[in-house]
Amino acid sequence: MFKPVKTPCVGVCSTGLGDHVCRGCKRFVHEVMYWNAYSNDERYLIARRLEGFLTQVVSNKLQIVDEAKLLAAIKHQQLRFNPEQGAYCWLFDLLRAGASQIDDLSVYGVVRQPDWQDETLVAIKQAIEQDYYTLSCAYYERYFSQPA
């Protein structure tokens, strides 16, 4: 049995505006609507899908070379993160909390991937958000959209 899965909601829901995928948490509209009715196992599957997508997108732009250093820095700064998620999700939480304030990624045990060497962390964070949303939308369209 899994620990209770908390809602991935980040308080920026766009499903009420007609989006099929929430721009905040990247869940599908039906997952947002029925979250409280889902079993813990169902919630876990949704959380793992979201974690997988986010890990894929973040790791395409940044590489964690020292996970212990990242965890220590996040804890030292008292940032909110989910320790049950993977380190690339923690890294995204770090960027969300203060991408514009980070001067040296090596302090966090992180380096830029080669194609992202010249980008600011703010631009990388925005690209991650966009790619994460795009990936979630593509998945929704592939598996949940009705054919025209």
As for how many domains the chain has, the answer is 1
Q: Which of 37, 49, 35 is nearest to 138 (CA)?
A: 49
72-124 pLDDT, tens digit each: 999 999 998 999 899 999 999 999 999 999 999 999 999 999 999 999 999 99
Task: Please check whether residue 119 lies inside any domain of the structure.
Answer: yes
Task: Please check whether residue 104 lies inside any domain of the structure.
Answer: yes
Task: Please check whether residue 4 lies inside any domain of the structure.
Answer: no
Torsion angle, CA of 125/127/133/135, rounded to 10 degrees?
Answer: -120
Task: Please check whether residue 7 lies inside any domain of the structure.
Answer: no
Task: Please check whether residue 135 lies inside any domain of the structure.
Answer: yes
Residue bearing the bigger pLDDT, 4 or 45: 45
pLDDT for res 24: 92
Give how far the C-alpha of residue 111 lies from the chain's centroid of Cα atoms, to the nearest Å. 18
**Could you give the CA distance from residue 116 to residue 103 in angstroms, rounded to a whole number?**
15
What percent of the chain has a predicted confidence (pLDDT) above 90?
Answer: 81
With bands split at pLDDT 50, 70 and 90, how would you rate the model's confidence at 2? Answer: low
Burial class of residue 131, CB neighbours in 10 A (0-12, 13-18, 19+):
middle
Q: Identify the residue whose tokens are 């499903």.
A: 15
CA dihedral (94, 87, 127, 143) positive or negative: negative
Task: Please check whether residue 8 lies inside any domain of the structure.
Answer: no
Does residue 1 carry a pLDDT above 70?
no
pLDDT for res 11: 83
pTM of the model: 0.93
Q: Which of 62, 25, 66, 63 is nearest to 47 (CA)?
A: 25
pLDDT for res 148: 59
Task: Please check whether residue 3 lies inside any domain of the structure.
Answer: no
**Could you give the CA distance from residue 28 to residue 131 in angstroms, rounded to a whole number?**
16
With bands split at pLDDT 50, 70 and 90, how would you rate the model's confidence at 13? Answer: confident
Instruction: Domain of residue 80: give its range.
Output: 15-143
pLDDT for res 121: 97
Task: Please check whether residue 90 lies inside any domain of the structure.
Answer: yes
DSSP string, 40-79: HHHHHHHHHHHHHHHHHHHHTTEEES-HHHHHHHHHHTT-
Q: Identify the residue whose tokens are 């830029």.
A: 112
